[in-house]
């Protein structure tokens, strides 16, 4: 189809779909009037039953923790998929890194950038760790903290230059962390099975609400999610960095 | 003053405009970002479903447990959805980069390896 | 509060449309980051701080980074 | 008694993470053994679950959050024989794919096995879960693994394009599923399927129709119903053979499984007074899928793409089986899923062997070259005949049950649609075998214009022997396809399982109140099917006639085939629609959803 035909066909059908969708939406109760009984139940149950003050974290890591396990594995799978798709092909050779590529002299980071990056590193690290470990009390948790932790290592890239970043050869360690994080979630769940409880049921004592250890196994899950997400985002960004900065060209061509 | 159906209509609009972008796209990166607009339609919809006027966020660290709060479940669903979205986008982006490597273009009109 | 919410929703509608209608990759990524930020604000305004946190982290860090790197790669190939 | 329900999901996922770590330190061979053992273990667990669930539904609450005051708080697995059976089929095919790939890929790291295990875990979770959002999560997990596996051969041009088309359309599909689930949540305040079903009861309104449309359309994209099927042929033509086996053998069918599951648990009561409207919509969809799939299959020369379109035509038959909304027809669909899954997987393995040995899969270029591959040729031909509906095969029994149910409803003419779909797809395979293995037909320069696909090699060079690990799985799967059709016990078990599957009350009671109802009863009088063997033989004869007419048409019709130009013109139009353009595909998808939803609204509202 030409772009024109396609646009016309789409507009005809899409308008219909839009009308159909809105028609269905208008059958729902208006926004802001009520929330489901399921939600009310969880809001009232979470603090007494689980000592977790952030209900969203409780839903994510406990009541519907199995969803989150699936979600973490989607991240894991995507990372592995990206690594698979970006692997150096048989018909490709990795050429010298960008510094030596003609006309591509990578400028070294300026001192100002270095100082900024270095001085931001420590607070970001702390913030990341805080976010991962306090998900059961405040907004935040493994996912958000994990992304923040990943940015810390990207500061290393900003502070130094890419060559140092590459030479750290942390790739293997990061991949190990990625698999450990993914496996960690499952292992916390399996611990319950070993103790003859349903998968993912809490097996640790609950400290009073509002403290770091209040969530039982939730902080452990949050930690493994944090590790997995941090490692995953790092692997993703380095895979794209490699792809962007290292010349891969066809053999003999 | 009431919220009415505002968020729902916005969700429907994002649904439509996202699909429009995908269909008319001339660049795969553009197409992928349109998918992300499409995805955000579901965030708005879910959030609208779980909202209660005048209620607080479902975090009870500083407030009594029986304070009316909004729906925590839709928030958890949106959280999950955001993670899913960004990871799937990364995969799509990788495929787009590989397409550019193999076909030398990002224009879907010029991809011709499969037909019939 | 409700005025703020309405305003953000309207802005999201406009920004979302702008993302779709911006056809230049680099400009689109910038509009997209702005759109992500607006989504984050909306989550705050609708009492969803957890989600807002994620959205900002993803919209401000992960997505633009990946897209910019992919764009760099593609530009280099040309 | 160890708690088995979570294991089919948890074990492969855990092993996937472990294999990533192992892959950093060890060779490929060290990865393969634990991968195969895991898949075998999952198969065994799923089989046990099939047996156990036949004594009553198994309900398993994750995190121990059983319902309080009849409100489901957590996520449940609800396992019945059909769901567990789907999981068994998935794991069985993964085992076969692993064994086949032992000698297949020359250069492969641990990532292939990692992704396959995740794929397995996701498919099992998808089959077993009783929660709407969890279904979506596993849908996405399945998709993420499938996208990456599909684009595996990044060195060629076609695979990356096919994978992108696949990924974009299925992401749109997943989004529709999620939107539909959100609507259901807004309407009922529940995410547990049983709870949604109970809350909806028999009330039907516009929100319910829109939600049903979105969820069903999303899953039908995965199931490759026309006009949502475009991605399937692209993905199958380019994915590595062991991956194709899973795509065609079970993944597509899982989409239909989800439609059926959600319909019976959630919507069947609300729609009960509109069943005939729903039936006509699904009949239309099924017929369209049968005919488009069959036609497109017959005009292909690229054998993997041919097999892909054959899957589309059989999906059409399965949609008819579901759409009749009767237990008998649903039993036919289940039989079709099993029979087709086995046979189609075997055929894909055969095409993989052909590619391995001869370095090509194009019918025209292969003419006569396959004569050395006697065993493969036999299995290939048998598979083709099975698709046409050769009697002892499961596909024959499935077709027949659907036909019988249709006749019971006064729709006897549906038989002809099913026969056309089966004959076209079977004849295409037989034609391929006749040309490639037996050297039939004459050299035709511009014969049937097949698809233009640039796929890469899967193995380094042409090989001189077909390894046992490649021929074995194909032969065993063909044998299983026969066994599924022959065994009377199997047929009886399917009938009984289908009754459990359609028992909405028992499902809801088991989930929300923990009631233990055993509705699994082997039927006393089993349907007699082999008396109708002539129907299958007739279809096979028809397929042979079609093949002979095609291959020798220049001899038989000196002055050109009567009406040939009209047919050719129509087919070329149809082929042009399969443009490989992702924007086109999404346009078709939107058109399809709009028509589907509009039809439901008009007929029901």
Q: What confidence score (pLDDT) does residue D393 get?
A: 92
Domain count, chain B: 1
Q: Do B94 and A81 touch (CB under 8 A)?
A: yes
- Please count the structural domains in chain D: 3
Chain A stretch 5-64, residues whose beta carbon is closer than 8 A to a beta carbon of chain C = 54, 56-57
What single string gives the DSSP state of each residue in D2-36?
A: ---TTHHHHHHHHHHHHHHHHHHHS-HHHHHHHHH
At C28 the pLDDT is 94
Stated as kind and residue range, the H or E segment containing D313 is helix D303-323
The set of residues, in sequence order, having a beta carbon less than 8 Å from that of D462 and lying 6+ positions away, is D357, D358, D359
Question: D424 exposed, middle or buried (CB, 10 Å; 0-12, 13-18, 19+)?
Answer: buried
Catalogue the E-assigned strands of D397-544: 452-453
Joined tokens for residue B116: 């019939």
Tell me the nearest-neighbour CA distance from D394 into chain B, angstroms: 31
Q: What is the largest CA-CA distance in chain B?
A: 64
For residue A95, what pLDDT is reported? 56
| Domain end call among D129, D156, D174 | D129
CA distances from D25 to A167, D21, D111 (A): 19, 7, 13
Confirm whether D567 is domain-assigned.
Answer: no
Residues of D in contact with A198 (CB under 8 A): 3, 60-64
Contact A75, A228 (CB under 8 A): yes
**CATH number, position B21:** 1.10.287.3510
pLDDT value at position A49?
Answer: 87
In a domain, A37, yes or no: no
Sequence-separated (6 or more) residues with CB below 8 Å from residue D401:
D321, D328, D329, D331, D332, D335, D527, D529
D10: domain range?
Answer: 1-129
- Angle, alpha carbons B18-B21-B25 (nearest 5°): 150
pLDDT at D449: 47
D301 and D216 belong to one structural domain? no
Residue with tokens 């609800």: D78
C8 in Cβ contact with C39 (< 8 Å): no
Q: Looking at the domain assignment, is residue D523 inside a domain? A: no
Determine what percent of chain A is predicted with pLDDT higher than 70. 85
Model confidence at D552, in pLDDT bands (50, 70, 90)? confident
Q: If DSSP codes are grouped into helix, strand and coil, which group holds residue A57?
A: helix
The answer to whether the CB of A135 falls within 8 A of the CB of A218 is: yes
Is A5 within the bounds of a domain?
Answer: no
- Looking at the domain assignment, is residue B116 inside a domain? no
pLDDT (0 to 100) of residue D447: 47
* CB contact (8 A) between residue A27 and residue D111: no
D415: in domain? yes
User: Nearest residue on chain D to A42, judged by CA atoms?
Assistant: D73
DSSP helix, strand, coil percent of chain B (3-state; round to 5): 65, 5, 30
Per-residue model confidence (pLDDT) at position D457: 58
Percentage with pLDDT > 70 across chain D:
94
Strands of D378-500, DSSP E: 452-453
The token pair at B11 is 């969700």
* Inter-axis angle of helices A65-86 and A218-245, nearest 10: 20
Residue A92 — pLDDT band, cuts 50, 70, 90?
low
Q: Cα D152 from chain centroid?
A: 21
Q: Which residues of C touch B17 (CB under 8 A)?
A: 16-17, 20
Q: Is residue A12 in a domain?
A: no
Which residue in the set B12, B26, B58 is minimally distant from A25, CB to CB?
B12
In a domain, A44, yes or no: no
* pLDDT given for residue D83 in this prediction: 97
- Give D392 or A6, the one with higher predicted confidence: A6
Residue D105 has pLDDT above 80, yes or no: no
Among candidate residues A164, D18, A45, the one with its CA nearest the CA of residue B73: A45
Contact yes or no for B90 and A82 at CB 8 A: yes
Which residue blocks in D359-409 are alpha helix, DSSP H?
A: 374-388, 394-408
SS3 A95: strand
DSSP-assigned states of every residue in A143-209? HHHHHHHHHHHHHHHHHS-HHHHHHT--HHHHHHHHHHHHHHHHHHHHHHHHTTS-TT---SPPPPT
Asked if D573 and D250 touch (Cβ cutoff 8 Å), the reply is no
D506 within a domain of the structure (yes/no)? no
Contacts of C55 in chain A (CB under 8 A): none
Pairwise CA distance, residues A157 & A164, whole Å: 8
Most confident of D149-163, D447-461, D546-560, D582-596: D582-596
Looking at the fold, whether D167 and D258 belong to one and the same domain comes out as yes
Chain D contact present for B12, CB below 8 A:
no
* Number of domains chain A is built from: 1
Q: Verify whether the Cβ–Cβ distance C58 to B29 is below 8 Å.
A: no
Contact D452 B116 (CB under 8 A): yes
3-state secondary structure of C56: helix
Interface contact B25, partner D, CB < 8 A = yes
Q: Do D412 and D545 fall within a single domain?
A: yes
Q: What is the pLDDT of residue D446?
A: 47
Q: Give the single-character DSSP code of D412.
A: T
Q: Is D73 exposed, middle or buried (0-12, 13-18, 19+ CB in 10 A)?
A: buried
Cβ within 8 Å, pair D583-A178: no
Select from D216, D226, D415, A248 the least CA-distant residue to C73.
A248
Taking a C-beta distance cutoff of 8 angstroms, is the pair D240, D175 a contact? Answer: no
Q: Assign A33 a pLDDT band (cuts: 50, 70, 90).
A: confident
Q: How many Å apart are CA D520 and CA D53, to the nearest integer?
A: 9
CB D75 within 8 A of CB D62: yes
> Quick one: D64 exposed, middle or buried, by C-beta within 10 A (0-12, 13-18, 19+)?
middle
Q: What is the pLDDT of residues D507-547, one digit of tens each?
A: 999 999 888 877 788 776 666 667 788 888 999 999 999 99
Residues D9 and D152 in one domain: no
Kindly determine whether residue A148 and residue C62, on different chains, have CB atoms separated by under 8 Å: no
Residues D333-367 pLDDT 10s = 999 999 999 999 999 999 999 988 888 888 888 88
Q: For residue A124, what are the domain limits?
A: 54-250
**A63: nearest Cα among A44, A50, A53, A74:** A50
**What chain D residue is nearest to A16 in terms of C-alpha separation?**
D594
In a domain, A46, yes or no: no
Judge if ipTM > 0.90: yes
H-run or E-run covering D88: helix D81-100
Residue D297 and residue D231 share a domain: no
Contact D293, D311 (CB under 8 A): yes
> Using the beta-carbon criterion (under 8 Å), do A67 and D134 form an inter-chain contact?
yes
Do D389 and D334 belong to one domain? yes
| Paired residues of A97 in beta bridges | A246
- A64, closest residue in chain D (CA to CA): D74
pLDDT at A103 over 50: no
Tokens representing B32? 């992928």
- Residues linked to residue D192 through DSSP beta bridges, in sequence order: D131
Domain assignment of residue A175, yes or no: yes
CB-count exposure of residue D586 (10 Å: 0-12, 13-18, 19+): buried
- The two tokens of residue D176 are 């529709």
DSSP letter string, D259-280: HHHHIIIIITTTTGGGHHHHHH
Q: Please say if the pLDDT value at position A253 is more than 50.
A: no
Contact between A183 and D17 using a beta-carbon 8 Å cutoff: yes
Q: What is the pLDDT of residue D520?
A: 80
In chain A, residues 126-145 whose CB comes closer than 8 Å to chain B: 137-139, 143
Comparing CB atoms, the residue among C19, C21, C43 nearest residue B47 is C43
Q: From CA D570, how far away is CA D564, in angstroms rounded?
A: 10
Cα–Cα distance for residue pair B79/C54, rounded to 1 Å = 7
Report the Cα D355 to chain-centroid distance in Å: 23
Residues of chain A with Cβ-Cβ distance to D188 below 8 Å are: 36
Min mean pLDDT across A107-111, B49-53, B54-58, D196-200 is at A107-111
Give me the domain span that covers residue B43. 6-110
C-alpha closest to that of D249 among D364, D91, D359, D418: D91
Q: What tens digit of pLDDT does each residue of D404-456 get?
A: 999 999 999 999 999 999 999 999 999 999 999 988 877 655 444 445 565 55
Residue B1 is assigned to a structural domain of this protein: no
Contacts of B15 in chain D (CB under 8 A): 179
Of D185, D576, D583, the CB nearest to B108: D583
Selection from D503, D362, D518 nearest residue D444 by Cα: D362
The Cα D142–Cα D247 span in angstroms is 10
Q: Which chain B residue shows the shortest CA-CA distance from D132? A: B77
Whether A181 contacts A224, CB under 8 Å: yes
Residue B113's CB is within 10 A of a number of other CB atoms, namely 22
User: How is residue D543 written in tokens?
Assistant: 């397929």
Query: pLDDT (tens digit, 9 = 90+) per residue, D9-44?
Result: 999 999 999 999 998 888 878 888 999 999 999 999
Question: To which H or E segment does residue C27 belong?
Answer: helix C25-45
Q: What's the longest Cα–Cα distance across chain D?
A: 78
Instruction: Establish if A3 belongs to a structural domain.
Output: no
Q: Cβ–Cβ of A89/D584 closer than 8 Å?
A: no
* CB D26, CB A221: distance < 8 Å: no
pLDDT band at D253 (very low <50, low <70, confident <90, very high): very high
């Amino acid at each position: 189809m030409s772009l024109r035909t396609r646009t016309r066909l789409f507009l005809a059908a899409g308008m219909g779909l839009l009308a159909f969708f809105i028609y269905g939406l208008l059958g729902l109760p208006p926004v802001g009037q009520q929330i489901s009984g399921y939600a009310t139940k969880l809001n009232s149950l979470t603090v007494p039953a689980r000592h977790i003050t952030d209900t969203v974290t409780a839903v994510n890591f406990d009541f519907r923790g199995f969803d989150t396990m699936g979600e973490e594995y989607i991240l894991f799978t995507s990372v592995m998929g990206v690594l698979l798709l970006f692997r150096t092909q048989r018909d490709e050779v990795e050429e010298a890194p960008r510094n030596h590529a003609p006309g591509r002299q990578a400028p070294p980071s300026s001192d100002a950038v270095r100082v900024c990056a270095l001085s931001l590193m420590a607070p970001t690290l702390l913030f990341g760790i805080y976010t991962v470990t306090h998900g059961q009390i405040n907004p935040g948790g493994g996912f958000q903290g994990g992304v923040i932790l990943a940015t810390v290592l990207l500061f290393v890239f900003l502070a130094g230059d890419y060559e140092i970043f590459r030479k750290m050869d942390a790739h293997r360690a990061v991949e190990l962390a990625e698999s450990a994080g993914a496996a960690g979630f499952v292992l916390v769940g399996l611990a319950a099975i070993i103790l003859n409880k349903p998968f993912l049921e809490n097996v640790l004592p609950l400290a009073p609400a509002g403290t770091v250890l209040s969530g039982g196994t939730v902080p452990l899950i949050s930690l493994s999610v944090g590790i997995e997400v941090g490692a995953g985002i790092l692997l993703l960004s380095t895979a794209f960095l490699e792809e962007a900065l290292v010349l891969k060209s066809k053999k003999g061509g | 003053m009431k919220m009415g159906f505002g968020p729902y209509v916005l969700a429907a609009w994002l649904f439509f405009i996202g699909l429009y972008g995908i269909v008319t796209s001339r660049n795969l990166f553009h197409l992928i970002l349109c998918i992300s607009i499409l995805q955000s339609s579901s965030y708005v919809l879910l959030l609208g479903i779980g909202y209660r006027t005048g209620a607080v966020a479902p975090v009870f660290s500083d407030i009594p447990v029986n304070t009316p709060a909004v729906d925590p479940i839709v928030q958890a669903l949106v959280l999950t959805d955001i993670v899913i979205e960004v990871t799937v986008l990364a995969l799509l982006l990788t495929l787009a980069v590989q397409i550019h490597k193999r076909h030398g273009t990002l224009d879907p009109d010029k991809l011709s390896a499969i037909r019939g | 509060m409700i005025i703020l919410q309405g305003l953000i929703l309207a802005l999201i509608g406009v920004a979302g449309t702008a993302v779709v209608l911006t056809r230049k990759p680099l400009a689109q990524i910038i509009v997209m980051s702005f759109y992500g930020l607006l989504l984050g604000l909306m989550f705050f305004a609708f009492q969803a701080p957890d989600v807002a946190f994620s959205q900002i982290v993803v919209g401000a860090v992960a997505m633009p980074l990946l897209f910019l790197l992919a764009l760099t790669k593609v530009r280099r190939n040309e | 008694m160890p708690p088995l329900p979570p294991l089919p999901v948890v074990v492969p996922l855990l092993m996937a993470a472990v294999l990533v770590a192992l892959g950093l330190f060890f060779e490929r061979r060290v990865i393969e053994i634990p991968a195969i053992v895991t898949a075998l273990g999952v198969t065994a667990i799923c089989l046990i679950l099939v047996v156990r669930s036949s004594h009553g539904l198994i309900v398993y609450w994750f995190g121990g959050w059983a319902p309080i005051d009849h409100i489901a708080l957590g996520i449940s697995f609800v396992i019945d024989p059909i769901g567990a059976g789907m999981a068994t089929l998935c794991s069985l095919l993964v085992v076969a794919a692993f064994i086949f790939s032992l000698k297949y890929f020359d250069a492969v790291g641990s990532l292939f096995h990692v992704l396959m295990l995740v794929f397995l875990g996701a498919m099992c979770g998808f089959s077993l879960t009783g929660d709407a959002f969890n279904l979506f999560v596993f849908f996405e997990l399945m998709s993420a693994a499938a996208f990456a596996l599909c684009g595996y051969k990044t060195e060629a041009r076609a695979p990356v394009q096919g994978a992108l088309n696949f990924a974009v359309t299925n992401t749109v599909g997943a989004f529709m599923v999620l939107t539909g689930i959100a609507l259901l949540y807004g309407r009922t305040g529940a995410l547990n399927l049983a709870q949604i079903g109970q809350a909806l009861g028999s009330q039907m309104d516009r929100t319910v129709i829109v939600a049903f449309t979105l969820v069903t359309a999303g899953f039908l994209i995965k199931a490759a119903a026309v006009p949502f099927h475009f991605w399937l042929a692209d993905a199958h033509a380019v994915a590595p053979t062991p991956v194709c086996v899973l795509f065609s053998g079970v993944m597509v069918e899982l989409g239909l499984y989800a439609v059926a599951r959600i319909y019976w648990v959630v919507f069947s009561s609300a729609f009960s007074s509109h069943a005939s409207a729903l039936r006509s919509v699904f009949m239309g969809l099924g017929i369209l899928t049968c005919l488009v799939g069959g036609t497109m299959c017959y005009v292909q020369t690229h054998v993997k793409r041919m097999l892909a379109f054959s899957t589309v035509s059989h999906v059409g038959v399965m949609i008819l089986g579901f759409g009749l909304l009767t237990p008998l027809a649903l039993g036919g669909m289940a039989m079709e899923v099993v029979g087709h899954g086995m046979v189609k997987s075997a055929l894909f393995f055969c095409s993989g062997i052909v590619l391995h040995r001869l370095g090509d899969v194009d019918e025209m270029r292969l003419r006569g070259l396959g004569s050395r591959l006697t065993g493969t040729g036999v299995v290939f031909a048998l598979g083709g005949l099975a698709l046409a509906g050769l009697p002892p095969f499961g596909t024959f029994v499935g077709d027949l049950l659907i036909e019988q149910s249709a006749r019971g409803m006064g729709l006897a003419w549906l038989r002809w649609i099913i026969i056309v779909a089966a004959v076209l797809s079977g004849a295409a395979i037989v034609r391929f075998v006749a040309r490639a293995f037996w050297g039939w037909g004459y050299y035709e320069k511009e014969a049937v214009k097949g698809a233009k696909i640039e796929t890469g090699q899967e193995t380094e060079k042409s090989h001189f022997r077909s390894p046992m690990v490649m021929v074995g799985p194909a032969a065993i799967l063909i044998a299983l396809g026969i066994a599924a059709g022959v065994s009377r016990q199997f047929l009886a078990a399917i009938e009984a399982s289908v009754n459990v599957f359609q028992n909405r009350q028992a499902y809801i009671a088991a989930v929300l109140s923990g009631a233990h109802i055993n509705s699994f009863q082997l039927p006393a009088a089993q349907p007699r099917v082999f008396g109708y063997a002539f129907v299958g033989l007739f279809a096979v004869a028809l397929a042979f006639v079609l093949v002979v007419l095609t291959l020798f048409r220049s001899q038989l019709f000196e002055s050109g085939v009567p009406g040939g130009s009209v047919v050719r013109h129509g087919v070329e139009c149809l082929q042009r629609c399969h443009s490989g353009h992702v924007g086109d595909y999404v346009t078709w998808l939107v058109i399809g959803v709009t028509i589907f939803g509009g039809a439901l609204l008009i007929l029901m509202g």
